[in-house]
Structure 1
């Protein structure tokens, strides 16, 4: 293993966050993140954003909003 460098770490950050890299590439990026403040800061931001998106996807719309949207859709379908 070796330090993959900032360019590769930043390029592959999204795949790293989603565990989509092979174990060797992930290990190289993990090693780089441990030794590079700039890239580890980007990783922290990526983790926060990923978690926020996951939480947002789990939320459901209030029943009143669902009813209003369906009513609007049905009114456009009649025209």
Structure 2
């Protein structure tokens, strides 16, 4: 393997985080990050953001709020 460099690692970081690279490309980036504090830091930020977005998508509104919103939607929805 060869060090892919910061430019390539940072450009493909999103794909790396989502496992969208070939095995060889992913190995190159992993090898680079093992020796690059800057890219490792960006990787950590990317992972943190990805995990926060995933967890936010799983949250549900409280039952009372959900009922209130649905009632308002029914109020403003035109009747057929």
For normalisation by structure 1, the TM-score amounts to: 0.91
Match of 1:54 in 2: 54
Pairs within 5 Å for 1:16-31: 16-31=16-31
For normalisation by structure 2, the TM-score amounts to: 0.90
After superposition, the C-alpha distances for 1:13-48 in whole angstroms (9 at most, x for unaligned) are 111001111100000000111111111100011111
Q: Which runs of 5+ in 1 are unaligned?
A: none
Q: Which runs of 5+ in 2 are unaligned?
A: none
Any runs of at least 4 consecutive aligned residues in structure 1 with deviations exceeding 4 A, and if so which? none
Q: How many aligned positions are there? A: 79
Backbone CA RMSD of aligned residues:
1.3
